[in-house]
């Protein structure tokens, strides 16, 4: 979609939303009855969204899910969901919410899903923290490469200590694996799966991490790709060079952020929790090209005091443990959720 037409569409939706809002100024005897949850508008500034909670719903007898961990979009526009339900680990949606196909029965700890194009063909990288492995597959599910636990590092006594949660693919095809539920190292491999180096690890030092839950390749700086790594338990993320040198730490107080997702010049996170793991108090966080928070759909408005981002909190009950975000060509956000009573992904339609 061309930029101008997309802008015009947003202006029309905003104008239509204003008309709907103004109607509440008139008496309405049905106000508060039969309220449609899809009418909810969340977000801040130019990043506001209409909530579509029913978007991904399916017949659980036919397409069951457990935890909906992550989602990506391929060149055909299909939304690809990863769940740890072994009846259908990988589910392909079209943008209307219809299931196109499913596959996968062997990933009980399916967690991380990365899409990467090589030579014009797209491939998936799947992490399984139960099986302590990482897999490269075709879009039809054929396994092409398996990475076992990184005994080459000298940091692991057994596979049980290694629980990978995410991957990122470098510009030369190198594979970076985040051991988010294990020892919080990031392990770098060649495209063929040959060990190169490891960095990070649990700790409080600048170049260490606390729950390296997510990693992504950041290409927003022209000619200078970097890695963004989530240090989720510390409520921050860190910038690293491609050879593992720490560059910067960026705090996100009050936000237990999941993997970083780049779309255009902006950075997106699912915030799985803000204050309590016993409540559904997560939201989404959006940062600009300078990594400054500009919107938190489902949460409080990002506020800075003396240049420091203030602690975040959720508003309402939009989400049930959001675990990832996938942003499509119209900048709508698809949100799969963890431990959410086997619910399906929801759609945030940008307005």
Within a 10 A sphere around the Cβ of 60, how many other Cβ atoms? 12
The Cα 240–Cα 329 span in angstroms is 28
Residues 289-312: pLDDT tens digits? 999 999 999 999 999 999 999 999
Residues 158-185: pLDDT tens digits? 999 999 999 999 999 999 999 999 999 9
Which tokens sit at 39? 């009418």
- Per-residue pLDDT, 90: 98
Mean pLDDT of all residues in 254-269: 98
- Cβ proximity of 49 and 349 under 8 Å: yes
- Per-residue pLDDT, 10: 44
Angle at 318 between CA 314 and CA 321, to 5 degrees: 75
Q: What is the CA radius of gyration of the chain?
A: 20
Sign of CA pseudo-dihedral 136, 271, 347, 219: negative
Residues 85-114: pLDDT tens digits? 999 999 999 999 999 999 999 999 999 999
- Cβ proximity of 348 and 49 under 8 Å: yes
Residue ranges covered by each domain of the chain: 3-350
Phi, psi of 52 (to 5 degrees): -120, 85
Name residue 125's beta-bridge partners.
114, 136
Which tokens sit at 253? 């107080």
Residues 185-210: pLDDT tens digits? 999 999 999 999 999 999 999 999 99
Within a 10 A sphere around the Cβ of 207, how many other Cβ atoms? 15
Topology, domain 3-350: Neuraminidase (2.120.10)
For residue 192, with 0-12 CB atoms within 10 Å meaning exposed, 13-18 middle and 19 or more buried, which class applies? Answer: exposed
The Cα 56–Cα 52 span in angstroms is 9
Mean pLDDT taken over the chain: 91
């Amino acid at each position: 979609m061309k930029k101008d037409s997309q802008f015009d569409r947003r202006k029309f939706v905003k104008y239509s939303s204003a008309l709907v809002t103004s109607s509440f100024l008139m008496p309405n005897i049905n106000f508060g009855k039969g309220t449609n949850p899809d009418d909810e508008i969340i977000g801040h500034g130019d990043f506001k969204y209409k909530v579509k909670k029913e978007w991904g719903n399916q017949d659980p007898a036919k397409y069951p899910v457990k935890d909906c961990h992550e989602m990506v979009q391929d060149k055909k526009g299909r939304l690809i969901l990863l769940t740890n339900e072994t009846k259908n680990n990988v589910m392909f949606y079209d943008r209307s919410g219809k299931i196109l196909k499913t596959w996968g029965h062997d990933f009980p700890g399916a967690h991380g899903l990365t899409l990467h194009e090589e030579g014009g063909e797209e491939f998936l990288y799947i992490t399984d923290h139960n099986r302590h492995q990482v897999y490269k597959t075709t879009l039809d599910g054929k396994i092409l490469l398996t990475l076992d636990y990184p005994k080459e590092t000298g940091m692991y006594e057994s596979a049980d200590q290694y629980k990978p949660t995410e991957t990122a693919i470098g510009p030369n095809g190198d594979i970076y694996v985040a051991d988010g539920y294990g020892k919080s190292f990031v392990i770098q491999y060649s495209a063929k799966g040959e060990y190169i180096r490891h960095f990070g690890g649990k700790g409080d030092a600048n170049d260490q991490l606390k729950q390296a839950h997510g990693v992504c390749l950041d290409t927003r700086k022209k000619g200078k790709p970097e890695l963004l790594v989530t240090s989720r338990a510390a409520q921050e993320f860190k910038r690293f060079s491609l050879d593992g040198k720490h560059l910067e730490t960026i705090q996100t107080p009050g936000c237990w952020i999941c993997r970083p997702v780049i779309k255009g010049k902006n950075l997106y996170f699912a915030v799985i929790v803000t204050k309590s793991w016993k409540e559904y108090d997560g939201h989404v966080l959006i940062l600009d090209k300078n990594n400054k928070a500009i919107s938190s759909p489902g949460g409080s408005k990002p506020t800075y005091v003396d240049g420091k981002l203030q602690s975040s909190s959720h508003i309402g009950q939009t989400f049930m443990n959001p675990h990832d975000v996938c942003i499509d060509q119209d900048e709508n956000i698809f949100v799969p959720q963890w431990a959410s009573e086997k619910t399906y992904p929801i759609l945030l339609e940008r307005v």
